[in-house]
Amino acid sequence: MASHPMSAADAAWLHMDRPTNLMVINSVLWFDEPVDWERVKLTFKHRIVDRFPRFRQRAVEGGPLGGPRWEDAPNFDPGLHMHRLALPAPHDQTALQELVGDLMAAPLDRTKPLWHIYLVEDYGEGCAVLVRMHHCIADGIALARVMLSLTDDTPAVGAGFTGGASSSGRTPLGGALWPMRSALSAARLVTSTALHEGIESVVHPRHAMKLAERGAEDAVTLAKLLAPGRDASSPLKGELGVASHVAWSEPVPLSRIKAIGKPVDATVNDVLVAAVSGALGHYMRSRGGDAQEIHAMVPFNLRPLDQPLPRDLGNRFGLIMLGLPVGIRDPHERRIEVKRRMDSIKNSDEGALSYGILGAIGRTPLAVEERLIDFFTAKGTLVLTNVPGPRKPVYLAGSPVRGVLVWAPCSGSVGMSVSVFSYDGKVTVGFLTDAGLVPDPSELVRAFEHEVDEMYRQRRRVAATA
């Protein structure tokens, strides 16, 4: 039986699993029409299971003297990882959100490859597909690319993956994937303002090579990451339970977000982070909280975006601790402060340093690792991810994808993951929350939508005084 050592970074994510915080990346796609499930399963097998060995392997602990390893799963049957469910009445978005939240709380079986895919039928006139993959397989940006490799830029492309051009004349990982094709080229992704599972920044893999030249500044950054400290207990941070809830917004046109940011030269990400900060601040105050700042753990990519994904996938990302000014009530002032903070991290080595810290954590004994994870994650209240998806409609098994969200897992004492996903000229924001801390995340969705509306109404006054 083939066996391969697991990298230290991947091992760290494997060991972060807890009943109250599963290290699973959850992706949901929804459609206005039913999909051909047999074609979806065949596509998943050809383009993912056959291409990437991790989807045929299980994670096995190595014992007291060795780290975990990957080994081929005996009697592997991909069909056992593909499920078909019917959405209960009333078959609407609320019902879908409740079902997705329930499925997210289920741990993955360590004796089998760590992924599952679910077709949820009877979602209105259409359906939804939920894909769950363990974080030890790969980081969120890699798994988003893997997931989107299921899609095509035309409805007629077949399910097979041959490594060459498809019947539409493009490579199988082409039109659906940033950074493929001209619309979402690698060059534009690397220099644009979108960050791996998080904030947009001009930070990219080449930046990590400059660490040796940044001695004094690196020392300050390292102190920020390792110094004691934690976000205070609040309506968003506290003791965690097992159950999770999710809710997501209606798609917001990116043109609307850009119009908000234009008067003050703010990026799309500046505006979205300001709106999320405002929504969180409003929710906390409505529950008696008075925090002026909370911290978001923002992962970003350390893998070259202009290169194909390696067959072994793996984790190559770092984390930034971004302070969110939730205590600033005025939307314009908050947007200015978010822009200032975002600009200050664009040349930071924080993400690369945190990647090294995660790798070091993965080499420690399990008891020590658990304490280090608690120490590291206590500094934050939420995970904030921002994934730029295809700019034009894509198709899964011939059916047009209506919307997409990808949630990174929380870890340690963090109880909220916020997903920002742009697709087809619109952006959707989804909240994944611990059910005990935030029983109804739709309140956060409504607060977010209100913040966007308020900033849009203010834009003319801001432009006149800029």
Lowest-confidence pick of 63-67, 222-226, 372-376: 222-226
pLDDT greater than 50 at residue 5: yes
Confidence at residue 322, expressed as pLDDT on a 0 to 100 scale: 87
List the one residue out of 376, 314, 335 whose CA is nearest residue 466.
335
pLDDT greater than 70 at residue 168: no
pLDDT grade for 142, boundaries at 50, 70 and 90: confident
The pLDDT tens digits for 280-323 are: 999 999 999 989 999 998 877 666 666 677 788 887 766 778 89
Confidence at residue 306, expressed as pLDDT on a 0 to 100 scale: 64
pLDDT greater than 60 at residue 79: yes
Contacting residues for 392 by C-beta, under 8 A, at least 6 apart: 153, 175, 183, 424
pLDDT grade for 374, boundaries at 50, 70 and 90: low
Q: What token pair was written down for 108?
A: 């993955």
Mean pLDDT over residues 102-125, rounded?
96
pLDDT grade for 380, boundaries at 50, 70 and 90: confident
pLDDT grade for 228, boundaries at 50, 70 and 90: very low
Domain of 26, in residue numbers:
3-465
pLDDT grade for 43, boundaries at 50, 70 and 90: very high
pLDDT greater than 50 at residue 351: no
Confidence at residue 365, expressed as pLDDT on a 0 to 100 scale: 52
Confidence at residue 183, expressed as pLDDT on a 0 to 100 scale: 28
- Virtual CA dihedral for 370, 371, 373, 374, nearest 10 degrees? 120
pLDDT greater than 60 at residue 30: yes
The pLDDT tens digits for 431-444 are: 999 999 999 999 99
Confidence at residue 459, expressed as pLDDT on a 0 to 100 scale: 80
List the one residue out of 422, 349, 463, 426 whose CA is nearest residue 192.
422
Confidence at residue 308, expressed as pLDDT on a 0 to 100 scale: 75
- Virtual CA dihedral for 101, 104, 106, 109, nearest 10 degrees? 160
Give the count of domains, the chain.
1
Q: What is the CA radius of gyration of the chain?
A: 21
Task: Give yes or no for a cis peptide into 53 (omega within 30° of 0).
Answer: no
Q: How many CA atoms lie within 13 A of 42 on its CB side?
A: 11
Mean pLDDT over residues 371-379, rounded?
57
Lowest-confidence pick of 258-272, 339-353, 385-399: 339-353
Higher pLDDT, 44 or 371: 44
Q: What is the mean pLDDT of the chain?
A: 79
The pLDDT tens digits for 173-224 are: 333 332 333 223 332 333 333 333 333 333 334 443 343 344 334 444 444 4
- Give the domain CATH number at 159: 3.30.559.30
Q: Please provide the size of the chain in residues.
A: 466
Distances in whole angstroms, Cα of residue 429 to Cα of each of 183, 248, 376, 432: 23, 6, 26, 10
Mean pLDDT over residues 353-366, rounded?
49
Do residues 105 and 51 touch, judged by C-beta distance below 8 A?
no
pLDDT grade for 145, boundaries at 50, 70 and 90: confident
